[in-house]
Structure 1
């Protein structure tokens, strides 16, 4: 009986080794180092944001329909971050981990942000009654 278990273990190990050998992991994109060709330097220079784009501010929104950190908060975050004028959405500090006892999110936004439009986005996602925290 023991020899059958050893035989199965050997076959399983051989199968795993074969699978790993046939599907090698891809190295990370930056493992070979950054490119230094003139074209890549020009691309990097074009990506530097102007002063108007770097100006940001934040607002805290109360989302009373946000009850759990596992489904509700990720949905709120995803829906708000889909907007072009939103940079980042973070959950406000909570008293207890794994529970939302403070249903507020801190929205970092760009110039041209509209709190009414953000609240409308939340309402269309099922989070009605959201307000701006004063």
Structure 2
């Protein structure tokens, strides 16, 4: 009974604590004796893993062949390379500056995959410091 309730709850909830609570509610509703908390935790964890596995399989089975090939390429280490393409994709972003923002914008728009801006993209120029603030007046 607890496994069935956990499987049902895991399809709608992701947090183990939420799944455990749903199982407890169902067992109390049906007037069953509650198992030890560790047992509930194991049942909920297994149900969540099964639900996630089913979801991942469904997504993988609906992907077109070309998309699967491209995803596999992301995870394949090319000869002579130290990092996969996936490592480059998940790299931490640099500090946001006009130069890096322009580079990201160019990468998104052109798909070139470079971190630096493309030659046709130039970061916005800064106004001269003298033009930024008006001169102070003496009191």
Structure 1 and Structure 2 fold alike (TM over 0.5): no
CA radius of gyration, larger in:
2
Question: Which has a greater percent of helix?
Answer: 2
- TM-score, normalisation: structure 1: 0.29
- TM-score, normalisation: structure 2: 0.28
